[in-house]
Amino acid sequence: MPESIKINRSHSRIQQALIELLKDKDYCDITVAELIEKADVGKTTFYRHYERKLDVFLAMHDSLFDSLFQDLTAREDWLSLSPRPSVITMLSRISVQSRFRRSMSYKLGNDAPQAHRKLKQNLTKFIEQRLTSAFDTDDFIIALPSLASTLAAIYLDFITQLFNDPLSSSVEEKAVSLQRLTHANLRAAIED
């Protein structure tokens, strides 16, 4: 079996194990030993791929970002006033999974500051790549990294709101607000 397939399979198993453990426990209550046991991998295999549990958490979010933005591929998608189905679906998933649980900062424990910072960095890069493929970047009058960073902050804030207060308003209302803020920021950044 080629080495790249083994690596991908190990990554997948470890990430899936974290997802499964998060269904019953908060991140801060999960140990690396539990993660290794659930993934059915050796300690050496785990540490060959990840330095710590936080790295698994961050890698897991790459696929979540991909799902969140799967319907935002063209300029029209980004500039629409209606939220894309993938955004509504992902926000619904987050809302359901976060009910009656502790705040995101509590769940992440000591890793919270670094997790928030790294998630924002990763999401900023992801959004910048998506915007680059959907727009003519020469149209932007605001630097693309700044725009992507702003949009990442908005998305993360909405997701945090869902975790901290999932019942404050409907997912659809939040998705509409999120899309309108995205639209407004993009309109302000595009030279007409």
Q: Provide the b/e sequence for 90-105 (b: ≥16 CB within 10 Å).
A: bbbebbeebeeeeebe
The listed range with the strongest mean pLDDT (27-31, 97-101, 184-188) is: 184-188
Q: Which two tokens stand for residue 113?
A: 């500051």
The answer to whether residue 99 scores a pLDDT higher than 60 is no
DSSP string computed for 91-121: HHHHHHHHTTS--HHHHHGGGHHHHHHHHHH
Torsion region of 100: left, alpha or beta (phi above 0 gives left; psi -120 to 50 gives alpha): left
167 or 123: whose pLDDT is higher? Answer: 123
Tell me how far apart the terminal alpha carbons of the chain are, to the nearest angstrom. Answer: 53
- What is the percent of the chain where pLDDT is above 90? 59
Q: How confident is the model at residue 35 (pLDDT cuts 50, 70, 90)?
A: very high
Q: Is the pLDDT of residue 134 over 70?
A: yes
pLDDT value of position 167: 61
Closest by CA to 178, choosing from 103, 69, 57, 98, is 69
Query: pLDDT band at 166, cuts 50/70/90?
Result: low
Q: Average pLDDT, stretch 49-55? A: 93
Q: What is the pTM of this model?
A: 0.84
Does residue 54 carry a pLDDT above 60? yes
